[in-house]
Structure 1
Amino acid sequence: MPSESTYPNLPIPDVDLWAFLFERKDRPYGDDKVIYFDPYTKRSYTYAQVRDAAINFGKGLKALWDWQKGDVLALYTPNCIDTPAITWGCHWAGGILSPANPNYTVEELVFQLKDSGAKGLVTQMPYIKNAQEAAKTVGIPLDRVVVMGDQKDPSYQVKHFTSIVNTAGSSKWRRTKATNPAEDLAFLVYSSGTTGHPKGVMLTHRNIVANTMMIKAAEAGRLQPTGGPTGEGDKLLAFLPFFHIYGLTCLIHQSLYTGLQLVVMPKFDLEDFCKFIQELKITFAYVVPPIVLLLSKHPSVSKYDLTSIRMMNSGAAPLTRELVEAVHSRLKIPVKQGYGLSETSPTTHTQPWEDWDKTIGSVGKLLPYQTAKYMSPEEEEMSVGEVGELWIKGPNVFKGYLNNPDGTAHAKTADGYFKTGDVGYQDKDGNFFITDRVKELIKYKGFQVPPAELEGILVAHPKINDVAVIGVYSKDEATELPRAYVVPKDGLGKTDQDAKEIVDWLTAKVAHHKRLRGGVRWVDEIPKSVSGKILRRMLKVKAQEEEEGKVKAKL
């Protein structure tokens, strides 16, 4: 039987995001509560300022751009405290927001603009050249490419978003409501596929409303708008990218709904991260495993007082017991784990605060309103403790992939389950475990080897700073062999002897089929996405190039 949540089912309002956030009657904090704060410029938005800026921007879209229901606005920018006002201004005007990675090349941005059908683009001055070039390519008028943030165009040729405010006859503009919150799109986020172009994930208003309520039920009053070390309530440090669903829902939406102050960093910087925690008394942080790794090993961390942190929540990639224990041993900071995907808006599971140390390695319990099951490759349901692919059903599951009916049909079943592509199991107490991606499992002579499991063990080696494991095909053995790409700690000599030491060290800790038969290779860094996922395909290309180099050398 599929598993169901044991969390309380808080009612999901049948409204669009604007009504959910700005027309509610039960808001537990006042209009003057500071929600978004820039620690570099000290600029901030209160609840009322976000609401008013969003309304004005929405009116400006209708007045100046003839904005229609269902039109798409793209964002191409790092984190900025202006992002929420622009997001909900777009929704106020009936639009759909599509955030793009600011590290995209022109060609990558062109794909998303074209695929989403974007009618306008918001960026920041350092990215304006790429933004304008991509806009020209897809036919977006340059007067619909605007900037936000603190930098403005000194020549005034590029408008700042604050100028898109309809000041004349503003009373005639009215909010465009979502006709059907369960069908009308709020976001088009693009998930990075392992091959080919990213897929446009269609998320409805109800998807995000439901997930925000699911997160609220799971946190069960743990995060509060008042109290704490400063009296200002809980403060969250936000460096996770807002263009990624993790940052979009868990940071931007949760902070406004619950009344938490979000301290916004444009990107991660370890020294600033630690400094802001110390100076601003940050109490909670959403993180990813590479950050947990840094906190466990980097010498700079010891210079700061991080004791205001009550809890960290890690997501986006598997987190191992070794890392959780290393951080707690060093800093006494508990780290719980959650799980989600772009297609699930994102959060589907999280560890309860009180159980973080009892079920280390688990992604926690299933959040409300969902059912889940683990399935075999033959699509038969697995029993408790048996490994399979996780399938999830609930109001947070996406509508489908944009312009990709085949992809949608492959990912969703006729009865509404989403096939996550993640492999794992659940225990008898309803704790879920994710061991790896279906496509990333290494097949050694019929045995399945989860790379994340080996990485979790290897990163605990005192001479390893970071590591990634992939499968490399051996013609001699006609099978894949696990290989580790290692970033060595200072002092490890990158010799064959050092590599053998690591291989032997792991051999003593794992089953026979999980040994590093593909050896160890030394690298300066592990390629990762902005959300912390290891980009194994890049390492596979590297492995292939190494193999081709050997063949040429023999010739």
Structure 2
Amino acid sequence: MAVRLIPRADRQAATRLVIYFDPYTSRSYTYADVKTTASTFGAGLKALWDWQKGDVVALYSPNCIDTPAITWGCHWAGGILSPANPGYTVDELAFQLKDSGAKALVTQLPFLENAIAAAEKVKIPLDRVVLIGDQRDPNGKFKHFTSIQNISRSARYRRTKVKPNDDLAFLVYSSGTTGHPKGVMLTHRNIVANTMMIKAGESGNLSWEKDRLLAFLPFFHIYGLTCLIHQSLYSGFQLVVMPKFDLEDFCRIIQEHKVTFAYVVPPVVLLLSKHPVVSKYDLSTVRMMNSGAAPLTKELVEAVHNRLKIPVKQGYGLSETSPTTHTQPWEHWNKTIGSVGTLLPYQTAKYMSPEEKEVAPGEIGELWIKGPNVFKGYLNNPEGTAHALTPEGYFKTGDIGYQDKDGNFFITDRVKELIKYKGFQVPPAELEGILISHDNINDVAVVGIYNPEQATEVPRAYVVPSKGKTDTHAQEIVEWLNAKVANHKKLRGGVRFVEEIPKSVSGKILRRVLKDKATGEPNVKAKL
């Protein structure tokens, strides 16, 4: 895929451009470095293991400038990359490894213990657990990926040819309301098409000569994977890479490296609007921010602009659409606040009634999208794929909204019941399945409650207890659940005790009833 994304031929200095830069260590990759490292790593995979086209490499790591080379090295060998959240517990990681059929696992030294435990659970040989980043295994048992490269000197290994329309590039995992994450199958065509669509959506406002992007959005998430890793390579932007978000580092790096553009999420916009540490730094080089992953309020957009004079536009997308389908034009960022923007090129979209009839502009419906960026289907889930994709190729997003007369799209609600915590998807059924195993819980429902202090939804559990309901008991349940799940799935909305869980005659939890109930309750923070 990297060969297809080479910067334009008229850019003579393309191979010398620094594309990925680590501001903490000053380590970097030029375009030429990425291409060479990827091809040697890919050849190393073929040389070291009984490698077959279509084999899956899982990546369990925070952001790292080695990630692009690992990604395209895997593709060079005809493989599929499946990125996993480094916050996953052993069981959560093991599920993804087993479901994806991963043959190898790439991680960093601080995450090695969990990686080993998960690999052993699914019987991945430990000699296929590989390290990236600046730290090596002090015991020398686990190879650094540079050692995989060193095995690749034989000239007999060649890049595996792929069929862009059919062969998978990525298996990203999107949580579902059934409680288990779903493997979203994205082809090479999907990712390349969306990368080109994103470039078109920026309408020439970004240029490789003058723009530098800050990357803190996780590379294991489709938002960071496409908008950051792929767009930077295709357009020649330098990507300044943070392993994770830290507000003061975010501001300091913008000031020191004169960052001009950043992809963000609403909780970050909230911090920029009011946190005192922001005032210590000069962020005036930022020409625009793009917010996605969750809705952004007009009040937040205006607060950031009033304080910092930084415009914030919005976009929209999903894992199944690679991801970006809509973005606000730069020139309209302050004219259509609340909209997710206009439709990017090469797609068609329509809002559909519950009877699956297209509705007129201004009328509410479910958003359906069709285009070269729409995924191939869910891995090992033909029923889910058939439900999500129409015979004509439209993807049913599960999001509710409308289109105005000027072609601006609005998202007002979700058919799907996923909770979105800072852009991460939290499946309520998964948390319910764990909570119901607690000795003191008779029944439970989990819903997302909007927390204005964090500008995001947080999971809250409504519990029918088998014993007395006390604050101590509630906090014990919170702590018990939090020890079993990744950070983004914690019960930040706390626990509320109820006499019964509202359900339909068919037994389906009526989450909207609980959400309505929550509007009259105090927003008590759980102790985390």
Give, as a single letter, the amino acid of the residue that structure 1 aligns with 2:49.
W
Partner residue in 2 for 1:139: 123
Q: Is the 8 A contact 1:390 1:421 kept in 2?
A: yes
Partner residue in 2 for 1:343: 320
Identical aligned residues as a percent: 75
Match of 1:65 among 45, 49, 74: 49
State the secondary structure of the residue aligned to 1:50.
helix
Give, as a single letter, the amino acid of the residue that structure 1 aligns with 2:67.
T
Change (3 A) 1:237 1:517: closer
Q: Is the 8 A contact 2:78 2:159 kept in 1?
A: yes
- In 2, the alpha carbon distance for the partners of 1:154 and 1:472 equals 43
CA shift, 1:195, in A, is 3.8
CA shift, 1:390, in A, is 0.3
Partner residue in 1 for 2:393: 416
Change (3 A) 1:249 1:154: same
Partner residue in 2 for 1:119: 103
Is 1:377 the equivalent of 2:354?
yes
- In 2, the alpha carbon distance for the partners of 1:212 and 1:141 equals 35
User: Which structure 1 segments of 5+ residues have no match?
Assistant: 1-16, 227-232, 443-450, 474-513, 528-555
Match of 1:259 among 236, 246, 267: 236
CA shift, 1:136, in A, is 1.1
Cα displacement string for residues 217-249 of structure 1 (whole angstroms, at most 9, x for unaligned residues): 1112211111xxxxxx21111000000000000
- In 2, the alpha carbon distance for the partners of 1:241 and 1:515 equals 33
Partner residue in 2 for 1:84: 68
Partner residue in 2 for 1:428: 405
Q: Is the 8 A contact 1:288 1:317 kept in 2?
A: yes
Is 1:437 the equivalent of 2:438?
no
CA shift, 1:466, in A, is 4.7
Give, as a single letter, the amino acid of the residue that structure 2 aligns with 1:212.
T
Change (3 A) 1:430 1:466: closer
Give, as a single letter, the amino acid of the residue that structure 1 aligns with 2:201.
A
State the secondary structure of the residue aligned to 2:155.
helix
Q: Is the 8 A contact 2:267 2:456 kept in 1?
A: no
Q: Is the 8 A contact 2:289 2:312 kept in 1?
A: yes
Partner residue in 2 for 1:171: 155
CA shift, 1:439, in A, is 3.4
Change (3 A) 1:32 1:23: closer
CA shift, 1:47, in A, is 0.6
TM-score (norm 2): 0.81
Give, as a single letter, the amino acid of the residue that structure 1 aligns with 2:56.
V
- In 2, the alpha carbon distance for the partners of 1:516 and 1:271 equals 37
Match of 1:97 among 65, 75, 81: 81
Partner residue in 1 for 2:284: 307
User: Which structure 2 segments of 5+ residues have no match?
Assistant: 420-446, 463-514
Cα displacement string for residues 74-95 of structure 1 (whole angstroms, at most 9, x for unaligned residues): 0000000000000000001110
Please provide the CA RMSD for this pair: 2.5
Cα displacement string for residues 5-31 of structure 1 (whole angstroms, at most 9, x for unaligned residues): xxxxxxxxxxxx233124964557421
TM-score (norm 1): 0.77
Match of 1:161 among 140, 145, 148: 145
Q: Is the 8 A contact 1:44 1:81 kept in 2?
A: yes
Cα displacement string for residues 429-460 of structure 1 (whole angstroms, at most 9, x for unaligned residues): 00000112113599xxxxxxxx99x95xx84x
Is 1:221 the equivalent of 2:209?
no
Partner residue in 2 for 1:362: 339
State the secondary structure of the residue aligned to 2:112.
helix
State the secondary structure of the residue aligned to 1:252.
helix
- In 2, the alpha carbon distance for the partners of 1:240 and 1:28 equals 30
Partner residue in 2 for 1:392: 369
Partner residue in 1 for 2:489: none
- In 2, the alpha carbon distance for the partners of 1:44 and 1:23 equals 18
- In 1, the alpha carbon distance for the partners of 2:458 and 2:39 equals 49
- In 2, the alpha carbon distance for the partners of 1:134 and 1:377 equals 42
Give, as a single letter, the amino acid of the residue that structure 2 aligns with 1:378.
E
- In 2, the alpha carbon distance for the partners of 1:83 and 1:517 equals 41
Partner residue in 1 for 2:169: 186
Partner residue in 2 for 1:523: 524
- In 1, the alpha carbon distance for the partners of 2:256 and 2:271 equals 20
- In 2, the alpha carbon distance for the partners of 1:441 and 1:177 equals 38
- In 2, the alpha carbon distance for the partners of 1:287 and 1:251 equals 11
Cα displacement string for residues 80-133 of structure 1 (whole angstroms, at most 9, x for unaligned residues): 000000000000111000000001111111111111111100000011011111
Q: Following TM superposition, where does structure 1 have runs of at least 4 consecutive aligned residues deviating by more than 6 angstroms?
A: 469-473, 514-517
- In 1, the alpha carbon distance for the partners of 2:107 and 2:458 equals 36
Q: Is the 8 A contact 2:267 2:454 kept in 1?
A: no
